[in-house]
Structure 1
């Protein structure tokens, strides 16, 4: 006779995977403020099942972004330990962070909001990403590669603006040109 607990665990895993797949699709279509009920419905489960797996929107986003965060952590570690030009390292970081924040419309705001929300599923990841950006900014300032009055908070605001723009414009060339303007504006 089959073990009923094994079946539930397999069903729970399938539900978890379906919820993540549908959340990915819905957030790409509608942004991070999309209806969680719609995600559950598209996954073929009740909203209570979604909340059993992900107690809130940020928990769901944290699960979706886990692999992307790991890639950014690795890039941040690489750039902080590299001996290359500080400006190039900061630009590479800003570009990667902006692209990450543009994965879903509204994601940059969610990430920034989670920095102040220590109970958030995204808080630890955002704090680690923030530390990398802060270190790269300070290194660039110390080397005279960017304006002496530029702060990490300025850089985060610019990255958020770039992510907002990237999420809303299909014109990749325009987004790249505007990023170039941002990078040039950081120069001393």
Structure 2
């Protein structure tokens, strides 16, 4: 799909006019099928978001709910890095029931909350947070690693946040993140 290519190159602020031109259709034709940018993104992202929610469903069956939450966090980060700007768009859509992305965002939020509740029930996750807090942290981190200066540190930053959410999970794997020295970077 041409729109997927353009958005992969330019992020969520890709011009609808540019998408139409590269698809060799008129802008009116594109807008007839996708009247808003969010409607276009709902079509582009629905497969990814459905797969993400299905992944959460599988993780909910894990005997290690803390590790399942860490896996979910990593899946989310991989998704968040798939399109520049998608996290900010989803965070906005999450609060707007009129948005074309609202249902998909609600499903991701709900999956996150269920995984958090399982980890809390297992005594592995902080109990002073809820699904809204987790979705907010995931969105904030997704937005942060969308910035070029922080993208190379995505795994490390994910590890730090996951460690804060799951303080009782022993030996939380860093997945290849180099150990940092106690000295501040210059």
Query: TM-score with structure 1 length normalisation?
Result: 0.80
User: Residue 147 in 1 paired to residue 143 in 2?
Assistant: no
Q: In the alignment, which residue of structure 2 is the partner of 1:109?
A: 88
Q: 1:128 offset after TM fit, Å? A: 1.2
Q: Identify the match of residue 6 of structure 2 among 26, 37, 45.
A: 26
Structure 1, unpaired ranges of 5+: 1-20
Cα deviation code 1:102-139 (max 9, x no counterpart):
21111011112222222222111111111110111112
* CA spacing shift, 1:23–1:170, aligned 2, 3 Å: farther
Cα deviation code 1:140-180 (max 9, x no counterpart):
12222112212222211221133224333488762211111
Structure ID, larger Rg: 1
Q: Identify the match of residue 65 of structure 2 among 55, 64, 86.
A: 86
Does structure 2 conserve the Cα–Cα contact (< 8 Å) formed by 1:40 and 1:50? yes
CA distance in 2, matches of 1:171, 1:158: 16
Does structure 1 conserve the Cα–Cα contact (< 8 Å) formed by 2:62 and 2:68? no
Give the structure with the higher percent helix: 1
User: Residue 156 in 1 paired to residue 135 in 2?
Assistant: yes
* CA spacing shift, 1:171–1:111, aligned 2, 3 Å: closer
Which has the higher mean CA deviation after the structures are superposed, 161-170 or 84-93?
A: 161-170
Q: In the alignment, which residue of structure 2 is the partner of 1:179?
A: 158
Give RMSD over aligned pairs. 1.9
Q: In the alignment, which residue of structure 2 is the partner of 1:68?
A: 48
Does structure 1 conserve the Cα–Cα contact (< 8 Å) formed by 2:42 and 2:100? yes
Which has the higher mean CA deviation after the structures are superposed, 164-173 or 174-183?
A: 164-173
SS in 2 for 1:168: coil
Does structure 2 conserve the Cα–Cα contact (< 8 Å) formed by 1:141 and 1:150? no
CA distance in 2, matches of 1:60, 1:118: 17
Runs (4+) of structure 1 moved beyond 2 Å?
Answer: 164-174
